[in-house]
Structures are given as C-alpha cells and as structure tokens.
Structure 1
Amino acid sequence: MRLEDIKNVYFVGIGGIGMSAIARWFNKRGAKVGGYDRVETNLTTRLSLEGMWIHYEDSRKDIPKHFLNREDTLVIYTPAIPEKHGELKFFRNKKFDVRKRAEVLGIISMDHFTIAIGGTHGKTTTSSMVAHMLQYHEKKCSAFIGGIMSNYETNLLIGDKDAPVVVEADEFDRSFHWLMPNYTVVTSVDPDHLDIYGDEMEMRKAFGQFLQQSGEEGKTLVHYKAAEKVNTHLEHLYYTYGMEGGDIRAHALRAVNGIFIFNYHGSRTIKDINLLVPGFHNVENALAAITVAIDMGMDSESIKEAMKSYRGVKRRFEYIIKSEKFIFIDDYAHHPEEIRAFLRSVKALFPKKKLTAVFQPHLFSRTRDFQAGFADSLMLADELILLDIYPAREEPIPGVTSENIFNKVFIQNKHLIKKDELMDTLKSLDVELLVTIGAGDIDKEVPRIKEYYEYKLKREA
C-alpha cells in the first residue's frame, strides 16, 4: 500500500480515539476522509468541523460516491466493530482495500524512527509525556496518542519528515504486533482482555513478542514489575524502571502544594523535576518518558522545562474543580490496578478529606474476570457509588452485573444505582472529595456534576 496514492479514506468506527488520530493524519495530508460511528460525540463533532464527513447509521446508501471508488479508497476499521457490521461487510464483499487500524499505523510509522509505548495501563500518559518532551527537541515529533493531550487539545502531532514517531501500542486484539518500533516501552503487564487471550500466560507471551519486535538493534525499556512477567519471553537486553525497583528510579519524592517533585536517577541524575500531574503511577510514567528523552539526545534542562509544562491527558487524573471546600477529579481508570493506583494517589494528596468514588464498570467480560480485584481496589474509597456496567462492544453475559462487585465491597457507605439516579444520589450526600472513574460514558455526567457543584459552592460562598 502506497500512502501517497490514497485519495479517499473511509473509517468504520471513526470516533474511536485511536481511529480519530489516523483520520486526522490523512485529513492533514489532503485525502478526503469520512466514516461511520455509532453515536455522535464531542470528538466526532470536532472531526466534522475539521472537514470530515461522518454519519451515524449503518447504511452504505448514505455514503458519498467518492468513498465508493474501490481503486483509490482505503477502508480502515477498528476491531471494536463487530464482524456482522453492514458497512464493513459491504466493503469486504466489494474487494476494497480493508485494513485494521493497527496495520495502517504500522505502515505510517515504517519509514520513521518509531517509539512505541505499550502496557495494560499507563501507555496513554507515558506516550503523551514522551511526545510533549520531544516537542522541546530540535526535530520535534509526530505522535498518535490514545487520548486528548491537554497541552495541544488533540490526539495527533505532526512533526518534520525526519522527526521520530511516537505511537501508543494497543494490546487489544494483538494490535501492537503490527508495529516494528526502534524503541519499545512497556509500562505494565497485568491481566486484561482475557476474552482475546484466554489466560494471563498467553497475554504475557504477546507482550514478550511485542518487545522482541525492536530487534537486537532496538532499545527496550520495561517497568520492573512487568519485566518479571515477560522476562522468559525476552531474548535481547532491556532496561527497567520503577519507584521501588529497576535500573532507573525516582529519589527524594515529595508532594508540595499538590505537585510531585523528585530526582531522576538513571544514566544521569536530574534533580528537582516538577510533575504537575499528580499520582505515584505518573511519577513512574515520567521515569520512562524522561529515559526516552535522554536516549533521544535531550539535555537535562530541556527535560525539566518540558516536564514542568506537561498538563496531562483528558480524563487522566483531570481536576474538574479544585478549591479549598471541594475537589472533583475525573479519571479513565477501568482496570483494578489502575483504580488502586489512582485512589492511592488521591488519598495521599488529600489525606484528611472523605473520598467519595463513582465507578462505572466497563465490559461484562472484564467485570466477570476481575470482580474481586475491582472490589478490593474500590475499598480504598470512604464512600462508593457503583453504576451499571457499560457494555461497549459486548452483549450481556448472564449473571454478570455490577452487583457482583458491590457484594464484595466491604465498606459501610456504598450505593448501587442506575446512571440516571446519579445526580439525585450526589445531592443527597455530603461530598467534599469526589472522583468519577471509568472508561464508558460516565464522562457525559461530568459537565452536569461540575455545574451542580459550582452552583452549590457559589451559593455557599
């Protein structure tokens, strides 16, 4: 496939965060871009305003004629789209060039020095940190990120022709096996997507293969806990990092006015790095990103300046309201270990405040596989509001509900409710530190929650 020959690109599932970055890339190159998605969102609206054609009905009759020219149209789909999807079946039956998102990302990155960041959690933040720091490098970078970077209000950066490419490597559906990076980072290898892998050992093998794809000449950097799980699958030299173990560590960590300050110790020492995005897990993500920046030739002062200006990714430890009387944080966490790391960090930053957590489980299969882990991590909260499962791409699984988690949470203050009951429930409670957690559509409740508490704070002032 010659990218320069492509005139039209049609996306089946254009509103996905990874799909939208590639759509933007083709759009900026001058191709006509369009696609389907199930529902209209803020992101699809943004894509439309950028000149892309998008519709929300699975109907090939609605598709403009230029996307139906087989000779110069590329069709890209996400594995989250079911195989029975009408438009996807149509394009395949008509022998269009139909490719997975990850395959196209691999082709785009093939002619560039590529830095790939994978992991069951931490990859979006680490990828965005690497991309942001490389913007301070003379070559800058191109970047395909699985979240909206707050510094740039986009999930795509485009650098010079010879700039390195930063990609987020997704383990779902073994997508990361399409990449052949020069530099590979793995932030975590915890059990997930067992509907794809079957068991944890098979998932570990997949991560081991991903790490080997850098080859003998490439460099690999692995969180020390992840390394313990994949080292039997590794053939080449790799380096490790972490708060409590690894070749590269953070020393003298302290929290000052909600900002984490630490010293980096690796191939060099960099003192008093300021990280405005809080969280112990984000300090570890920063260790990985700083290591990449050093290996890419950045000097210590540029690294410190870049890290101090890094503002994070939307829905990753995102402060919605922060005042003396009330704090509201939204986070994308949807795996037990992510939730544990997030809540631990929140409690460390605000140890004297009562923590109320709203959690929306994501996927029936994930709830089934990790219900005990979810319950255990959610018990870090002082009060829990648990919503129904967000199904995403899945059909319901008999006997799997949020109640499976709820019954294993042994704290006094807990509530199991429907999502449309959330605002009434919050209004009935005395809340001072509120967090919303989940990868479903809980983010749609954030503006309503914000509006209510801003009005409440103003009235009480």
Structure 2
Amino acid sequence: MNIQELANSINGQIKGADEFFTDFTGRFLFLNNADNGDIVIRHWINDKGVEMAASKNISCLITQNPKDGALEKAEEINFPLIVVDKIELASAYALKHAISNFSPDSKNVIITGTNGKSTTSHLIYHIIDNAGFRVLTNTDSESEFNTLIDPMVANMVASEVIEKGPLDYLVIEVSEVQGWLGNLMKNHAYLMADAVSANVGVITNIAMDHIGLVNSIDEVFNEIQAVPNAIKDSLILNHDDELVMRIDSSKNNFYCSMNKLDDSKNNIYYDDGVVYDGEVILRPEELPFNSYHFIQNILSAVGACIALGIDIEDIREGVKSYKSLNRRFSRISEDPLIFDDFAHNPDGIKATIKESLKLVPEGKTLHVACAIRGSRGVDINKLNAEALVESFNDNIELYLSSSIDVVDNLNVVIDEEREIFFEVLNRNNIGFKHFDNLVDTLETVCREASEGDVILLIGAQGMDPAEGFLKDII
C-alpha cells in the first residue's frame, strides 16, 4: 500500500508530502501512543499536533478537521497529512486493515441494537473464553469502544495479537447509531460490521436512543437494516421485536424469543428454560439472572455461539459461570437491597423498573434514584421522564439527580433538560425529590428506605460513581 492508495480508499486528499514519512508498521493508533512508522487518525489536528507527529516519525496523519495552521505546517515540514470528509471511513479502513493483517483467520461476530449489546457481547466473549479459545472483545461496562469515531478497536486488535498471539475469535460490539458533535455518522453500524468481516451478526432490538442524531424510530431502523449485508454467514434476530423482524435478510437466520417457537434447529426460545432443537439446554436455576430482558440477551448469545460452532456443552458451562458487567442490574448491597442498572433510555428504564417491582415484598416500596442525562438534549430526557411515568405506581418513590458533583463537562445537565424532566412528571402528578449532587441523592434514598424496601439506581454517566459513594453511606 502507498499513500495514494490509502487516500483513495478513504476518500481523502493528501496535503504536505505525497509519500509516507517513514515506512508504515501496519498499525493505526492515537497520537499519544503512536511511534515510528504508525499512522494516526484524529478527528481534528492543529499545527502543534502535526509537529508532534513528525517528531515521533509517524508515517502519516489522517484527520477530518485540520485547524490552527495544520495544513500550512504540513506543507512547511513536508509531512504527509490526509484530509477526509468522513473520519469514520478512515477508522473503518483501519479496523479492516488490522483484522486482515493481525487476525486474518479468526471467526468474527458483531452485536448491535439499541439495548443489550454490551451484556450479549460480554456473554458471548465469556462463553468462548471459558471454552478455552483465544478471544478478544471491545465491550466494557460503559460501551465506550464500540464506534468508528477513532481507531480504538483497530488498535485493540493489533495490540492483543502482538502481545499475546493469534486470536480464534473476535466479538465486536457495534453502536447502532453514532455521531460526532451532533452530526450523524450515516450507516455507522454497517460500516463497522463490514470492516469486521463478521461471520455472525446479532441484532438485539430497535428502540429510541441517541435523540438528535436520529429523531424517529424509522431513522433508527434505517441505520440498522443494512447490517445483514455485511454479515457473511448467520444472523441472530430477536423474534419478539417487531422492527427487527422487518429486517430483510437472506442469511442463515437464527430466531430468539421469550415465547415458544417451533422446534426447528435455528430457533432458540425460553419455555421453562432455554430450548434449542427441541431440548432444554439450560434450566432456569442455571441462568446467571432471570429478568426478562437479560434472558433475551442469553438467548441471543446462545444463538451466536451455536452459529459460530461452539459445542453445546461449552455454551452451557459458559452461561452457568457468567458474571455480569458492572451496572447491569447488579446487586450492590443486601441491606438495604440495592440494584444498579445502566438503564438510560426509555425501553431500558421500563424494563428495569418492571423487573425490580417483582422483587419488592408486598407492602414495601421501590425507591428509584434516576440520574438525568446531561448534555444529551431535551428530547431524550422527555422520553425518559415519560418512561418513568409509564412505569410508576403507588409502590414507587422517585428521586432525581443532576449529579453535578461527579460528571465532567460533557455530561452536565443543562436547565432545559432538567426542566423538561420536571414538567413531564408534574403534568402527570408524579411526586419526586430532586438533588443537584449525587451524594445527596444517595444519602436521602438510603435514609428514607425502610427495612424490606428495595432501592434501584438507574441512569448513565450521572449514576456511574454511585457504588463507590454507597460504601461510605451504608
């Protein structure tokens, strides 16, 4: 590959030098940890960044936004800088290149959808790892590495193989909708799935999130429906989701359902246990959790592993030994009984509250502490408040947190977000207590919960540090 071939592949224009500064190592990285011969992808770069890249003997810089003299500096020092219209094309190329060169023989699976991606991905990873294979996943508890905003996943693949040797499997979580600075990265899920060259794909569900990048459920559907075109062999579909079932796919489809399906070999359903090919392969007491939406994740993970060719007994043992990600309906205290969940969109909120209510003894109360989503816009907070209204009953006490004591500048709750939350709840006569600080929210909830009550913590970044605070409170 020469620099012109690279530029053509990512629809970029070469500025400065028209050849690589030094021989390319094959690795796409970030500026801080890049070294001699690597290529750096950055959403923006300035003249100081170009100088730093040159001083580190980096092979080439790729950016969408050259600013503050970056172009002039590249020309001045004769340094190769490629400017692209869409950074996601560069990151997708980097991912495809990393897999082709560092993990060409692995079987790969991608998981996308609005809810359940991280749990499903992590469960698939655990099953494969528990079976003794070499496997890598990009999933973490906060789902930070499932995008094409930067070359993170490409870097993860290359680094893992260089440090520990060849991989048998890649399990890649893919954000169904993604954007940067309020602009949609159109076809993000397809681009990332295609770059992974996945043998198997999983679509968990289609629901509203990422308001502003997309503004209707049809737009979410449009972002996901092309994913099957990037899958080589099998697709795992949630049979219970009407929009997922609208996806047109000619792949070898596996269907997963919480309702009994026929016993064809490609159906996995829950009927007093996980059923595959007409047989119960996992009994209810063998499952790591028994809430509705998490069992759906188990079904999808089982389907993906079957499609990948993992032995059924290995799948059983992997599911039975699984420990969930942080903040996935995690029980973080026994006295008082506290559950913590990353529920941060309407479907997640409703599902989590529904499952929590099942755990509340008769005559006792569910105390719900919810972090308002900061800097995510009025629309998603309106929908989240409406989800709380829909879930509310006389056995629930509601507490809201703006979490200004814990969030960074990217997650600050602005006045309009707080006000729409209040307006929806007040209009529906839902009582609540609001606190600026997360620590005050948690102290109040724990003080007001009586013996036998259940506490549920929900929300994204504004609720993330809660478990740490609670160690000093309870």
For 2:219, the equivalent position in structure 1 comes to: 202
- Check 1:422–1:271 CA distance in 2 against 1; reply closer, same or farther (3 A cut): closer
Per the TM alignment, residue 86 of structure 1 is displaced from its structure 2 partner at its CA by 7.7
Between 362-371 and 309-318, the greater mean CA deviation after superposition = 362-371
1:248 counterpart = 2:265: no
Q: Give 1:445 shift.
A: 3.3
TM score, norm. by length of structure 1: 0.71
Give, in whole Å, the separation in 1 of the partners of 2:47 and 2:341. Answer: 36
Residues 156-175 of structure 1 aligned to structure 2 (within 5 Å): 158=160, 161-173=166-178, 174-175=187-188
Over 3 Å counting, the alpha-carbon distance change for 1:384 and 1:166 in structure 2 is same
Partner of 2:114: 120
Percent of aligned pairs with the same amino acid = 18
Kept in 1: contact 2:41–2:63 (CA 8 A): no
Equivalent position of 1:212 in the other structure: 229
Note closer, same or farther for the CA distance 1:429–1:120 as it changes in structure 2 (3 Å cut).
same
Separation in structure 2 between the aligned mates of residue 89 and residue 230 of structure 1, nearest angstrom: 45
Q: Distance in 2 between matches of 1:408 and 1:8?
A: 52
Alignment gaps of 5+ in structure 1: 13-22, 38-57, 78-82, 150-154, 253-261, 454-461
Q: Deviations over 1:76-131 (max 9, x none)?
A: 89xxxxx7998999999982577445554454345343200001000000000001
Q: Distance in 2 between matches of 1:270 and 1:368?
A: 42
1:329 to 332, 339, 352: 339
Alignment of 1:45-444 (within 5 A): 65=52, 69=56, 71-72=58-59, 95-96=81-82, 99-100=87-88, 104-109=94-99, 111=104, 112-147=106-141, 158=160, 161-173=166-178, 174-178=187-191, 179-180=193-194, 181-214=198-231, 217-226=232-241, 228-237=242-251, 238-244=253-259, 247-252=267-272, 262-266=273-277, 269-272=280-283, 274-321=286-333, 323=334, 325-352=335-362, 353-362=364-373, 363-364=376-377, 365-377=379-391, 379=393, 382-388=396-402, 392=410, 396=414, 398=416, 401-408=420-427, 410-411=429-430, 414-419=432-437, 421-426=440-445, 428-431=447-450, 432-444=453-465
Q: How far apart are the structure 2 equivalents of 1:423 and 1:292? A: 39
Mapped pair 1:452 → 2:473: yes
* Pair 416,286 (structure 1): closer, same or farther in 2 beyond 3 Å: same
Change (3 A) 1:71 1:277: same
Give 1:185 shift.
Answer: 0.5
**Per-residue deviation at 1:311?**
0.5
Matches of 2:47 and 2:436, distance apart in 1: 35
Kindly indicate whether the alpha-carbon contact (under 8 Å) linking 1:276 and 1:308 is maintained by their aligned counterparts in 2.
Answer: yes
**SS of residue in 2 equivalent to 1:306:** helix
1:447 CA drift (Å) = 1.3
Which secondary structure state, in structure 2, belongs to the residue aligned with residue 185 of structure 1?
Answer: strand
Structure 1 residues 429 and 395, CA, compared in 2 at 3 Å: closer, same or farther?
Answer: closer
* Shift of residue 341, structure 1, vs aligned partner: 1.5
Question: SS of the residue aligned with 1:145?
Answer: coil
Residue 417 of structure 1 aligns with an amino acid whose one-letter code is F
**2:183 maps to what in 1?**
none
Secondary structure (helix, strand or coil) at the match of 1:172 reads: coil
State the distance in 2 between where 1:394 and 1:448 align: 19
The amino acid across from 2:176 in the alignment is E
Distance change in 2, residues 1:85/1:291 (3 Å): farther
Partner amino acid for 1:290? V
Higher alpha-carbon Rg: 2
Could you tell me whether the CA contact under 8 Å between 1:102 and 1:175 is conserved in 2?
no
State the alpha-carbon separation in 2 of the partners of residues 416 and 241 from structure 1: 40
State how far apart, in whole Å, the 1-side matches of 2:95 and 2:394 are: 38
Give the deviation of 1:385 after TM superposition. Answer: 0.3
Q: Is the 8 A contact 2:121 2:139 kept in 1?
A: yes
Deviation at 1:270, TM superposition (A): 0.7
Q: SS at 2:328's partner residue? A: coil
- Of residues 126-135 and 274-283 in structure 1, the stretch that sits farther from structure 2 once superposed is 274-283
Equivalent residues of 2:200, 2:234 under 8 A apart: yes
- Assess, with a 3 A threshold, how the Cα gap between structure 1 residues 405 and 358 changes in structure 2: closer, same or farther: farther
SS at match of 1:367: helix
CA distance in 2, matches of 1:299, 1:114: 17
Q: Give, in whole Å, the separation in 2 of the partners of 1:410 and 1:107.
A: 55
Which secondary structure does the structure 2 equivalent of 1:220 belong to?
strand
For the 8 Å contact 1:169–1:176, the answer to whether it is kept is yes
> Alpha carbons of 1:446 and 1:271: their partners in 2 closer, same or farther (altered >3 Å)?
closer
Q: Deviations over 1:118-174 (max 9, x none)?
A: 01000000000001001133533221114279xxxxx97957525121100101224
**Secondary structure of residue in 2 paired with 1:225:** coil
**Structure 2 vs 1, CA of residues 381 and 36 (structure 1 numbering), >3 Å: closer, same or farther?**
farther
